[in-house]
Amino acid sequence: MVLVLQIFLALTFAAAGITKVLGIKVQVENFRKLGLPQRFRVVTGLLQLAGATGLVVGFWRDSWASWGAVLIGVIMLGAVGFHIRVRDKFDAIAPALVLDVLAIVLAVLLGSDLGNFPN
């Protein structure tokens, strides 16, 4: 289960990070709707790519996956907060919330490796 979750989150956040960094229209509009500057979109995308990279490196070095999951969990907690701030409906908040919960679950499952970074 851990491996499946790790792969899913790595692929999801690699794709999300790339679309943000490249400035795909839906991402640009989403950050505009949330009232965030476009440079924040790029920074968020780079952080998502860093989290995904941590998850991938984590296939060989467990502590990297732990920290990648923590980073993704923090990013998605922020996403949930920004959606709530603009009073989005639950269906707009739900994807970020589900991804946040999955990242937190993965971080907890791998949590014993956090202190071994960079192992």
CA angle 95, 100, 105 (to 5 degrees): 130
* The pLDDT of residue 112 is above 90: no
pTM: 0.92
Q: How many helices (H) and strands (E) does the chain have?
A: 5, 0
Specify the pLDDT at position 62. Answer: 83
Q: In this structure, is residue 50 part of a structural domain?
A: yes
CA angle 93, 12, 55 (to 5 degrees): 120
Q: In this structure, is residue 46 part of a structural domain?
A: yes
Q: In this structure, is residue 48 part of a structural domain?
A: yes
* The pLDDT of residue 113 is above 80: no
Task: Give the domain range for residue 43.
Answer: 2-114
Q: In this structure, is residue 31 part of a structural domain?
A: yes
* The pLDDT of residue 71 is above 90: yes
Could you give the maximum distance between any two Cα atoms of the chain, in Å?
A: 42
Q: In this structure, is residue 119 part of a structural domain?
A: no
Count structural domains, the chain: 1
Specify the pLDDT at position 116. Answer: 72
